[in-house]
Amino acid sequence: MNTSNTLFEKHRATLDAALAALSARTYYSPYPESPRAYAEDADAKAKAWISAVMNNNYTALDQTGANGWLGEEVSPFLQTGIGVQYPNFAPEALIANAIPAQTAWGKTSVEFRTGVLIEALENIKNRFFDIAYATMHTTGQAYMMSFQASGPHANDRALEAVVMGYKELTSVPSHAEWVKNMGKFDLTMHKTWKPIAKGISLVIGCSTFPVWNTVPGLFASLITGNACIVKPHPKAILAIAIVVEELQKVFASNGVLVQTVQMGVDTLDKPITKILAEHPAVKLVDFTGGSEFGNYIEQLPKTTFTEKAGVNSIILDSVKDLKSVLGNIAFSASLYSGQMCTAPQNIFVSKDGVQTAEGLVSYDEVVKGIAAAITGLVDNPKAGPGTLGAIQAELTYNRIKEAKNLGGELILDTKAIVNEEFKDARIATPAVISLEKSQSEVYNKECFGPILFVIKTDGLADSLQLAEALVKEKGALTCGAYTSSEENRALIADTMNNAFVPVSFNFTGAGFINSHAAFSDFHLTGGNPAGNASFANSEFVSKRFVWVGNRLMD
C-alpha cells in the first residue's frame, strides 16, 4: 500500500483552514456554492451525462461479487423511471468484501486517510453538476438546491467530519516515556496509544437528501478507519453513487482496496437494510429517515447515529416588520415543498395577535398574511417552481392533497402549478390551516411535506409551553422565534435549549431556519427524540473508534 503523505501535504492548507474554522465556528467553505464559480461548460456536460446514464447500467462502480443489476428510481419532474441499474450484491457478499478492506484500512495512518479523503472530495467537486442533475431526477429538488445541497454544502459537511476526525485522532500522543520516582529508583515505562476502528459501518440514506444526509456518517466512519457500506434509499441512488464512484477511484489510485466503500442497493419490495444492520460484522449504523425505523436502529446492540422525524415550530411574539417576517416564513415553508427535516410546521401565535412597530396585528390578519405571502411566492413564475421543486414520494403528495381534511380551518389549500421546463412535474403548493390549541391531535405529529399549522394560543407563555412539550415528546431539529423583547428572547432560548433544540431568532431576508452551516452550526443536537446524533460534534467521530494503550518495561 502506498503509505506516503503526498496527498496529506497537498491538502494541508485546506485541513489547517478547516481546523481553524472549527475552533472559531466562523464561516468557511472551500467549495463555492454558486454554479458560476465553475467551468462554463460544466452544466452542459452534466446534461449530456444525465441523458447518457439514464436507461443504462451504472458500470463505474466496483462489481466484485455482484449478482446482477437493480434499480427502480423515478423522476419526480418527468414522472417516469430513469432506468438506471446498479450492481446488485447479496448482503453476505458486501460483508465478505468489507472484512479484508476493514483490516487494511484500519491499519493506515490518520494522515494518509485525511489526504485520501480530502482528495476524494476534490474529485467529487468536479462532479457537482452531475450530482445536481442526479439529485433533481431522484428527489424532486429544484436545480439550485440540488446543486448546492448535494454539492458544495454536502462536501462541507463531509470535510467537517474528516477534520473533526483528524482532530480527535490526533488529540492523544502516539507514544510517551512515563517516569515515576519511587524514592531510590525510577519506575519507567514506554507507553503507546493507538485508535482502533470499531468495524464495518453501515450508512443508510434517505429519499430526499441522498448525499447531504449520507456523507457526514460516511466520511466520519472512513476517517476513523472503518470500511463502509452505503445503503441508499431505493428511490434515490444515483447521486450518492457518484460519491461512492469517486471514493473508489481515489482508493484504487492510492493502493487502497476499493471495497473500503461499497454501495448496496435494494428495492422497496425486497429490502436488505435490516439484514445488513443486524449482521454481527456491522458495528456502526448511521440512519436518516422515519422515527419508527430509527427507533429500531437505536435499539440494535451497535453504535448508532440517527436523524429521525421531528416537529419544528415557530413562535411569533413581536416583530419590527411583519411583512418581511411572513415572507421569510413563506419561503421556509415552500422551499423544496417542505420536504426538509428543518422545515417549519407549527406556528404558534397569540390569540391577541402580534405586536409590530406599527401596532398590534390580529391573529386572523397574521394567518391571512402567511397565506398571502405563500401565494405571492408560489404564483411568481420565476420564483415559484424553482423554490418548490417537486414532491419526491406519492405518499407525501397524497398527504398534502388530503390536508384540508385534517381538521381546523383551511386558510389556504394546496394547488398544482406548472413548471414550464417540466410540464409533468409532481408539484403541490403549501396548505395553511388554522387550529385551536386544543386540537393537538392534528399538530402534535410530523406531517411531512408542505403543510403549515397556525395555532392560536393564550400568549407567549402558552406558545412556549406547547412548543417545549412537542420537542420533549416528538423531537425537533430547529425552532424559529420572533420577539423584540430581550427578556422574552432569553426566556425562549433558555426553555428550548434545555429541551435540546436550537433557536433561530428574528430571521428575515436571506437567513432561513432551514439552513445550517458546516463548521459553525450543529445539525441536530442528539438530545431530543428527533435523533441521537449531531453533525458534527466530537462524539460524532469519537464513538467510531476506541483508544487502546500499551505499556512496555525494558
CATH code assigned at 361: 3.40.309.10
Regarding pTM above 0.75, the answer is: yes
Report DSSP state, residue 258.
G
The whole-number pLDDT of residue 64 equals 94
Report whether 11 contacts 19 (CB < 8 A): no
**Which of 281, 300, 220, 225 has the alpha carbon at shortest distance from 547?**
225
Taking the chain, what is the end-to-end CA distance rounded to the nearest angstrom? 32
Q: What is the pLDDT of residues 520-536, one digit of tens each?
A: 999 999 999 999 999 99
C-alpha to C-alpha distance for 535 and 229, rounded to whole angstroms? 19
Report whether 313 contacts 482 (CB < 8 A): no
**Which of 537, 120, 136, 481 has the alpha carbon at shortest distance from 305?**
537
The whole-number pLDDT of residue 1 equals 42
**223: amino acid identity, one letter:** I
136 and 196 assigned to the same domain: yes
Mean pLDDT of 42-52: 97
| Contacts with 277 (C-beta within 8 Å, 6 or more apart), sequence order | 202, 204, 285, 297, 300, 302
The pLDDT confidence band at residue 61, using thresholds 50, 70 and 90, is: very high
Mean pLDDT of 10-28: 97
Percentage of residues in the chain having pLDDT higher than 90: 99
- Residue 8: count of CB within 10 angstroms of its CB: 20
Number of domains in the chain: 2
Report whether 87 contacts 248 (CB < 8 A): no
173 and 236 assigned to the same domain: yes
Residue 104, domain member (yes or no): yes
The whole-number pLDDT of residue 334 equals 96
**Which of 98, 281, 282, 108 has the alpha carbon at shortest distance from 194?**
108
The whole-number pLDDT of residue 315 equals 98
Is it the case that residue 43 has pLDDT exceeding 60? yes
In the sheet with 545-552, reading across from the earlier edge strand, the strands are 175-181, 186-197, 545-552
Q: What is the pLDDT of residues 301-315, one digit of tens each?
A: 999 999 999 999 999
**Which of 82, 91, 86, 42 has the alpha carbon at shortest distance from 60?**
86
The whole-number pLDDT of residue 5 equals 79
C-alpha to C-alpha distance for 115 and 223, rounded to whole angstroms? 10
- Identify the three-state secondary structure at position 142: coil
Mean pLDDT of 130-159: 98
Boundary of a domain, candidates 467, 485, 505: 505
| Contacts with 79 (C-beta within 8 Å, 6 or more apart), sequence order | 424, 425, 426
Q: What is the pLDDT of residues 315-326, one digit of tens each?
A: 999 999 999 999
- Identify the three-state secondary structure at position 531: strand
14 and 43 assigned to the same domain: yes
C-alpha to C-alpha distance for 201 and 281, rounded to whole angstroms? 9
Report whether 452 contacts 347 (CB < 8 A): yes
C-alpha to C-alpha distance for 477 and 475, rounded to whole angstroms? 7
498 and 399 assigned to the same domain: yes
Tell me the residue range of the domain where 364 lies.
Answer: 313-505
Mean pLDDT of 491-517: 95
Residue 521, domain member (yes or no): no
318 and 297 assigned to the same domain: no
C-alpha to C-alpha distance for 172 and 19, rounded to whole angstroms? 16
46 and 189 assigned to the same domain: yes
Report DSSP state, residue 286.
E
- CATH code, domain carrying 301: 3.40.605.10
Residue 283, domain member (yes or no): yes
Residue bearing cell 435540546 = 500
267 and 408 assigned to the same domain: no
410 and 270 assigned to the same domain: no
Mean pLDDT of 155-163: 98
The whole-number pLDDT of residue 4 equals 53
Residue 208, domain member (yes or no): yes
Mean pLDDT of 480-501: 97
58 and 169 assigned to the same domain: yes
The whole-number pLDDT of residue 119 equals 98
| Cell numbers linked to 281 | 460484522
C-alpha to C-alpha distance for 257 and 99, rounded to whole angstroms? 11
- Identify the three-state secondary structure at position 119: helix
Is it the case that residue 218 has pLDDT exceeding 90? yes
Residue 258, domain member (yes or no): yes
H-helix or E-strand containing 469? Answer: helix 460-474
Residue 171, domain member (yes or no): yes
The whole-number pLDDT of residue 3 equals 44
218 and 286 assigned to the same domain: yes
What's the mean per-residue pLDDT of the chain?
A: 96
297 and 361 assigned to the same domain: no
Mean pLDDT of 183-212: 97
Mean pLDDT of 234-251: 98
Residue 266, domain member (yes or no): yes
393 and 289 assigned to the same domain: no
**Which of 219, 111, 100 has the alpha carbon at shortest distance from 174?**
111
Residue 524, domain member (yes or no): no
5-10, long-range: CB < 8 A, 24+ apart? 5/109, 5/111, 5/112, 5/115, 6/115, 7/112, 7/115, 7/116, 7/118, 7/119, 7/254, 8/111, 8/112, 8/114, 8/115, 9/115, 10/115, 10/119
β partners of residue 347: 314, 454
The pLDDT confidence band at residue 554, using thresholds 50, 70 and 90, is: confident
